Amino acid sequence: MSTAARCILQQTFGDLELIAVDDGSSDATRARLEALRDARVRVLDGGGKGLVHALNLALACARGRLIARMDADDECDPRRLELSASALEGLDGVGTQVEIFRDDRPVSPNLRAYGAWLNTLTSPALLYRDRYVESPLCHGSVLLRRDVLERAGGWADGDFPEDWDLWLRLLESGARLSCVPYVLYRWRDHDRRLTRTDARYALDRQAAMKARYLAARHRRLIIAGAGRTGLQLARLLRGHGVEIERFLDVNPKKVGTRIEGIAVMGPDDAGPPRGTHLVAAAGSKGARDEIRRHLATLGWIEGDHFTCAA
């Protein structure tokens, strides 16, 4: 916590306050924060009620018009807040590009790939396009307009990842989010991260959240991908009353069959867009880009006619 606090107190953006929520720590966290002896630091007692309560408590006590996040075990560039605030013109919130690191061993290939993908979302259009693929902002790196965050109700507590749910709620309300095109945040990976230990961040909870938001927009869908990812999403969507018109899949053993009563057709059977929205939910490496290329040749426009969700 003290390293993260020093990163904030050393920012080139001068007009700030640092609100640190001690959410039931059993070490010397509070003493180390108080030892900083900086009038800009306020330490709040979170009562051990969890991350979402701590976030909303800090929001309620904050005095600024801009709200930044910072995780206790991460680091950031001294220019992070200055460059993020400058990038907010015309936007409602930004994250930054990230460097993911570990102290004990190399970062896993999957996490490296996630960081590389996240660092590409440097425009509101790109971030909105990929909002269902994975969480499109590093939570610890964000800077948000307070009024926009409060209108959205702050962070919601539930059986889902609170950060990704917030991005989707903000985007559904018309907010514009993007990623600052500079690596300003060092995101520490370790085995005790909530994303590894808390069931709310499990893949099945993420899929359920995607289905909930997609079902609010569409009552009839085509699913591209009849593998595990597409089948899981189709089942969840049907649970919300969404009709799945058909699957599209490249596996010749599946094409021409029915899976759970739904016809499976080949990719060339997509034809031109005819009114039913398509969700690309093929989880294999490279499948998303291949689906995008193929649908584009058939006249499908991403956002208007199809959405990628894997």
Q: For the domain 203-308, what is the CATH code?
A: 3.40.50.720
How far is 137 from 213, CA to CA, in rounded Å? 18
Task: At 101, give phi and psi (nearest 5°).
Answer: -145, 160
Say what the pLDDT of residue 88 is: 98
* Element housing 262 (H / E): strand 262-265
Cα separation, 224 vs 258, in Å, equals 14
pTM, rounded to two decimals? 0.95
Take residue 54 and report the two structure tokens written for it. 């701590």
Rounded to whole angstroms, the Cα distance separating 37 from 14 reads 17
Among 66, 53, 63, residue whose Cα is nearest residue 21: 53
How far apart are the two ends of the chain, measured CA to CA in Å?
34
Confidence (pLDDT) at 210:
98
pLDDT for the residue numbered 31:
85
Work out whether the CA dihedral 225, 230, 235, 241 comes out positive or negative: negative
β-bridge partners, 264? 247
pLDDT of residue 305: 98
Per-residue pLDDT tens listing for the chain (310 residues): 678 999 999 999 989 999 999 988 878 788 888 888 899 999 999 999 999 999 999 999 999 999 999 999 999 999 999 999 999 999 999 999 999 999 999 999 999 999 999 999 999 999 999 999 999 999 999 999 999 999 999 999 999 999 999 999 999 999 999 999 999 999 999 988 888 889 999 999 999 999 999 999 999 999 999 999 999 999 999 999 999 999 999 999 999 999 999 999 999 999 999 999 999 999 899 999 999 999 999 999 999 999 999 9
Strand partners, 274: none
For the segment(s) 2-201, the CATH number from 1.10.10.10, 2.60.40.10, 3.20.20.70, 3.90.550.10 is 3.90.550.10
Task: Using alpha carbons, select from 267, 218, 264, 268 the residue that is nearest to residue 238.
Answer: 218
Q: What is the pLDDT of residue 37?
A: 85
Domain ranges of the chain: 2-201, 203-308
